[in-house]
């Protein structure tokens, strides 16, 4: 339903009323903005010196290193979570009951526990056995963050992929078996590739969630973008004020840009997928939930009359 | 086992803290989300633009960054001395409201076009159409996504624990600082979250069944 059905093309009276509402709305938003600007100004957050800190070489290096660290965590966690996700999805569709139960338990446990608690517990665990595990420097935090992100996002990706595998038409599997392919071959060369294709937008949306969640490294004092920003904001004093506002503006812009580029990719792939005529519906690119519980939703986007593969 | 029994009061307090912060921000997210979904389909361009900006910005910002804003910028600039609970509620509520808004908006889109057309031809205004015809019917399709949004909210509330709120993450931090094995603490905390999330999904399934109509 397009939103224009909800109202007629405005007549003279409605136009006047809409204009009044527009003015009131704009004034209300402006009022809040002006108030915020005045208060920020009173705190000296708009002084040129405050923003001059970004001309400082070490501040720039810190931000660059922060972005690179964030991207490094994201890259490793993304690759590992996709691998784990495929493994878990295949495991959950396995013919062997114990494997199925074990994998289902794993997926449900790590999807239910907040990621922050997983990461924090892993961090403490790694700190306790630091020397035995051979960690040095900040690699303890790095691996706690990466493994935490991997088990959580891997579990979610597994559910997404499972929904994708179940959406592949039954004939594909039957044809593959009829050709004499083994179970592994059918799964890896026929079902998974088509499932990935169908679910690619959802998978990428979940990667956006992974990218956003790298900021949880802040809590375990890992020096990614958010932590370096906060550290700098806390350490630098300009005219006796901490430059929290400039730091958050810069950090916010960086994060939003990174996430929006990835989201745009998902939307683009979704639109391309709509054009192809493979008979397999391509999932929505929207991120349906706050924490990325896409898997709960994925079946909603797919036709419900598809065969259930055990 | 001992960790739980010896520290039952702490666990109880953390559990109640998680419940409180989740419930409070869920209410805020619902109210804001529905309001902004209304903005996004309204005939007034500035309101539509505001709604779009709100959703785009909040959905692409890490929640931790929002918490940073709430705890380091808001008290300095707007209201000094706001309690951590209110600040956490604001951050969680605003973040989740963008997801609620999108769920409500796609719910509005699933209501058959004839419903709104009929309402319009009866002479109902935009507000009346939305409030009395479209939103009540959208409720049914919005409930399943809302359930997973609130489950995600429950899990996100753990971040509030890192910002001096008493809830389950805070308890796990407190007890591990006291030197208890993290494995057991993790399991008990996981169980507590499972209880909350199962309750939410159960309640929503019940609601879904109650609102079901034969079409």
- Picking from A1, A248, A252, the nearest residue to B111 by CB comes out as A1
For chain B, give every domain's residue range: 19-166
Sign of CA dihedral B137, B142, B147, B149: negative
pLDDT at position A301 over 70: no
Q: DSSP letters along A94-157, please?
A: -S-HHHHHHHHHHHHHHHHS-HHHHHHHHHHHHHHTHHHHT--TTHHHHHHHHHHHHHHHHHHH
A126-140: average pLDDT: 79
> Which residues are paired to A238 by β-bridges?
A241
Non-local CB neighbours of B102 within 8 Å, separated by 6+ positions: A286, A288, B37, B55, B59
A148, B27, B133, B140 from B207: Cα distances, Å:
34, 17, 20, 9
* Residues on chain B touching A8 (C-beta within 8 angstroms): 120
CA A229 to each of CA A88, A208, B58: distance values in angstroms, whole numbers, following the listed order? 36, 21, 19
d(CA A39, CA A35): 6
pLDDT, residue B189, reads: 86
Tens of pLDDT, residue by residue over A159-185, are 999 989 988 888 999 999 999 999 989
Read off the tokens for A310. Answer: 């055990």
- Nearest by CB: A112 against B45, B110, B197: B197
* ipTM of predicted complex: 0.83
HSE on the CB side for A93, CA within 13 Å? 24
Long-range CB contacts (< 8 A, 24+ apart) of A258-266? A258/A211, A259/A208, A259/A211, A259/A212, A259/B60, A259/B61, A260/B56, A260/B60, A262/A204, A262/A207, A262/A208, A262/A211, A263/A204, A263/A205, A263/A208, A263/A287, A263/B60, A265/A204, A266/A200, A266/A201, A266/A202, A266/A204, A266/A205, A266/A208
**What angle is formed at CA A286 by the lines to CA A283 and CA A291, rounded to 5 degrees?**
115
What pLDDT shows up at residue A88? 94
User: Can you tell me the mean pLDDT for A82-90?
Assistant: 94
Residue range B71-99: mean pLDDT, rounded: 86
pLDDT of residue A277: 62
What is the dihedral sign for C-alpha A11, A13, A16, A20?
negative
Q: Which residue has the higher pLDDT, B164 or B47?
A: B47
Q: Mean per-residue pLDDT for A203-225?
A: 89
DSSP state of B81: T
From the list A109, A251, A291, the residue facing B65 with the nearest CB is: A251
CB-based contact, B112 to chain A, within 8 Å: yes
Please say if the pLDDT value at position A222 is more than 60.
yes
pLDDT at A288: 44
**pLDDT of A2 over the 80 cut:** no
* Chain A from 202 to 241: CB within 8 A of any B CB: 208, 212-216, 218-219, 226, 230, 233
Residue A253 confidence (pLDDT): 92
pLDDT at A302: 37
- Per-residue pLDDT, A310: 33
Query: Least CA distance to A244: which residue of chain B?
Result: B73
Task: Tell me the DSSP string of B51-63.
Answer: HHHHHHHHHTS-H
Q: Which residues of B98-114 are buried (b: 16+ CB within 10 A; e: fewer)?
A: bbbbbbbbbbbeebeee
Beta strands of chain B (E only): which ranges? Answer: none
Give the separation between CA B83 and CA A292, rounded to whole angstroms.
28
Tokens 């083994």 label which residue? A182
Q: For chain A, how are helix, strand and coil distributed in percent, rounded to 5?
A: 75, 0, 25
What does the alpha-carbon distance between residue B210 and residue A2 come to, in Å, rounded to a whole number? 29
- CB contact under 8 Å between B148 and A22, yes or no, is no
Identify the bridge partners of residue A267 per DSSP, sorted by sequence position.
none
Task: Measure A209 CA to nearest chain B CA, in Å.
Answer: 8
More confident residue, A158 or A274: A158
Contacts of A261 in chain B (CB under 8 A): none
Report the C-alpha gap between B169 and B189 in whole angstroms: 8
Q: How far is CA A22 from the centre of its chain?
A: 35
Asked if the C-beta of A289 comes within 8 angstroms of chain B's C-beta atoms, the answer is yes
B118 interface with A at CB cutoff 8 Å = no
**CB A231, CB A221: distance < 8 Å:** no
Of A88 and B186, which is predicted with more confidence?
A88
- pLDDT above 50 (res B134): yes
Interface contact flag, B64 A256, Cβ < 8 Å: no
Confidence class of residue B82 from pLDDT cuts 50, 70 and 90? confident
For residue B80, the chain A residues in CB contact (below 8 A) are none
pLDDT band at A280 (very low <50, low <70, confident <90, very high): low
Residue B110's pLDDT is what? 84
* pLDDT above 70 coverage of chain A, percent: 87
Q: Dihedral of CA A178/A180/A184/A185: which sign?
A: negative
Q: How sure is the predictor about A305, in pLDDT bands with cuts at 50, 70 and 90?
A: very low
Say yes or no for a CB contact (<8 Å) between A288 and B149. Answer: yes
Q: Residue A77 pLDDT more than 90?
A: yes
CATH classification for the domain delimited by A56-301, as one of 1.10.3720.10, 3.40.640.10, 3.20.20.210, 2.40.50.140: 1.10.3720.10
pLDDT band at A39 (very low <50, low <70, confident <90, very high): confident
Give the model's pLDDT for residue A182. 92
- Note whether A249 contacts B: Cβ–Cβ < 8 A: no
Average model confidence (pLDDT) across chain B: 86
Which pair of tokens denotes residue B168?
């389950």
Structure confidence at residue A82 (pLDDT): 94
Q: How confident is residue A307, by pLDDT bands cut at 50, 70 and 90?
A: very low
Q: What is the pLDDT of residue A300?
A: 36
Distance CA A12, CA A28 (A): 24
Chain B hits for A1, CB-CB cut-off 8 Å, are 108-113, 116
- The pLDDT score that the predictor gives to residue A15 is 84
Give the C-alpha separation, B147 to A101, whole Å: 25
Q: What is the mean pLDDT of chain A?
A: 83
- Structure confidence at residue A263 as a pLDDT band (50, 70, 90): confident
Alpha-carbon span A130 to A150, nearest angstrom: 20
Instruction: Say yes or no to pLDDT of A63 above 70.
Output: yes
> Residue B43: what pLDDT?
81
Per-residue confidence (pLDDT) for residue B7, from 0 to 100: 77
Q: What's the pLDDT at B181?
A: 78
**CATH (residue range B19-166):** 1.10.3720.10
pLDDT-derived band at A286 (thresholds 50, 70, 90) equals low
pLDDT higher than 50, residue A299: no
Alpha carbon of A285: minimum distance to chain B alpha carbons (Å): 13
pLDDT category of residue B124 using cuts at 50, 70 and 90:
confident
- Contact flag B64-A218 (C-beta cutoff 8 Å): yes
Compute the average pLDDT of residues B4-20: 84
Helix/strand/coil for A238: strand
The residue ranking higher by pLDDT, B205 or A303, is: B205
Q: Provide the shortest C-alpha distance from residue B206 to chain A (in Å).
A: 17
């Amino acid at each position: 339903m397009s939103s224009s059905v909800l109202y007629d093309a405005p007549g003279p009276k409605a136009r006047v009323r809409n204009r009044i509402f527009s003015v009131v709305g704009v004034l209300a938003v402006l009022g809040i903005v002006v108030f915020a600007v005045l208060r920020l100004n009173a705190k000296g957050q708009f002084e040129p010196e405050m923003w001059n800190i970004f001309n400082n070489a070490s501040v720039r290096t810190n931000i660059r290193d922060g972005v690179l660290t964030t991207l490094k965590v994201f890259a490793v966690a993304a690759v590992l979570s996709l691998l784990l996700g495929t493994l878990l999805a295949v495991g959950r569709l396995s013919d062997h009951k114990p494997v199925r139960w074990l994998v289902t338990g794993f997926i449900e446990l790590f999807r239910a526990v907040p990621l922050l608690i997983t990461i924090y517990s892993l961090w403490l665990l790694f700190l306790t056995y630091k020397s035995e595990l051979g960690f040095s420097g900040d690699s303890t935090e790095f691996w706690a963050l990466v493994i935490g992100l991997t088990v959580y996002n891997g579990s979610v990706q597994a559910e997404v992929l499972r929904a994708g595998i179940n959406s592949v038409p039954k004939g594909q599997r039957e044809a593959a078996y009829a050709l004499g392919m083994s179970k592994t071959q059918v799964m890896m060369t026929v079902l998974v590739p088509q499932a990935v294709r169908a679910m690619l937008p959802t998978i990428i949306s979940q990667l956006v969630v992974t990218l956003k969640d790298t900021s949880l490294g802040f809590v375990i004092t890992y020096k990614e973008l958010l932590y370096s920003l906060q550290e700098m904001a806390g350490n630098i004093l300009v005219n006796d004020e901490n430059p929290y506002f400039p730091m958050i503006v810069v950090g916010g812009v960086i994060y939003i840009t990174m996430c929006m580029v990835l989201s745009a990719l998902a939307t683009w792939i979704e639109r391309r997928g709509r054009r192809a005529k493979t008979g397999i519906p391509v999932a929505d690119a929207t991120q349906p939930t706050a924490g990325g519980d896409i898997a709960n939703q994925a079946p909603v986007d797919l036709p419900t009359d598809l065969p259930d593969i055990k | 086992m001992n960790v739980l029994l010896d520290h039952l009061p702490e666990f109880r307090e953390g559990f109640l803290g998680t419940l409180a912060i989740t419930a409070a921000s869920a209410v805020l997210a619902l109210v804001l989300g529905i309001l902004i979904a209304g903005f996004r389909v309204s005939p007034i361009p500035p309101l539509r633009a505001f709604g779009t900006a709100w959703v785009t910005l909040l959905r692409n910002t890490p929640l931790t960054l929002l918490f940073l804003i709430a705890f380091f910028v808001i008290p300095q600039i707007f209201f000094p001395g706001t309690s951590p609970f209110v600040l956490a509620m604001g951050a969680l509520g605003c973040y989740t409201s963008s997801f609620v808004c999108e769920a409500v908006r796609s719910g509005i889109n699933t209501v058959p076009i004839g419903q709104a057309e009929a309402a319009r031809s009866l002479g109902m205004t935009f507000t009346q159409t939305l409030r009395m015809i479209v939103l009540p019917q959208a409720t049914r399709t919005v409930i399943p996504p809302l359930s997973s949004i609130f489950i995600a909210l429950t899990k996100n509330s753990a971040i509030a624990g890192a910002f001096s709120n008493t809830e389950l993450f805070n308890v796990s931090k407190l007890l591990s600082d006291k030197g208890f094995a993290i494995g057991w603490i993790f399991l008990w905390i996981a169980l507590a979250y499972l209880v909350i999330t199962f309750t939410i999904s159960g309640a929503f399934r019940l609601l879904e069944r109650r609102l079901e109509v034969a079409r």
